[in-house]
Homo-oligomer: A and B are copies of this chain.
Amino acid sequence: MKRIYLAGPDVFFSNAGEIGNQKKRLCQRYGFIGLFPLDGEVAAQTCARDTGLAISLANEALIRECDIVVANLTPFRGASADVGTVYELGLARGLGKHIHGYSNDPALYTQRVFDHAGTGTINEQTAGDLRDKNGFKIEEFDLHDNLMIDGGIHASGGYFLTADAPTLSDDLALFERLLIILSGTCSDNAN
């Protein structure tokens, strides 16, 4: 059975353990083994910093031994996906793994960044040179997150599924739909 690393900010949810178990059960239902990040399961070291570094090493090892990464890319504390999740997606891409993602927020990245960091209304600005309140350029590529994320998934032949309407970060409908696609029991044109 193929092993799927379950990347996402889910480890920070108040119901992290429950979500992890639900995801693992769904993986099993569709013929996969789900590997949930080990943030809560690594033994405390002599100082907090070393504990953090040990969790990182344990998660990197899980990613190295998986076949597929499925990332919860629903925006987390800002306009973009969780940075730890994005690091893991990049790592997996570099290791030659199959990478996929889903987002429970249907909005395009340009609008999200503007809502998060823009000033005035988007139509008052020059298309093609959109800026945030600090003068930093805002990407305008009709993508769902920073172009390295969408691009990496696309280049790897992966799927990046997005919700038709906003749902909570821990909603698993899209996650399950992705597993169904990956299990080969149906096809999808979302790639």
Contacts and interface: CB of A to CB of B under 8 A. Distances in A.
Interface of A: 9, 11-14, 16, 39, 47-49, 51-53, 55-57, 59-60, 76-84, 86-96, 113, 116-117, 131-132, 135-143, 145-152, 154-155
Interface class of chain A by DSSP: helix
Contacts of A149: 83-84, 87
A87 B84 contact: no
Number of copies: 2
B16 A137 contact: yes
A77 B152 contact: no
A18 B160 CA distance: 35
A2 B143 CA distance: 34
A142 to B, nearest CB: 4
Contact of A142 (B47, B81, B135): B47
Given A78-B77, A90-B89, A145-B83, A52 B150 contact: yes
Residue among A12, A132, A138, A147 having the largest count of chain B Cβ atoms under 10 Å: A147
A78 to B, nearest CB: 4
Contact of A147 (B13, B53, B151): B53
A143 B50 CA distance: 9
A55 B151 CA distance: 8
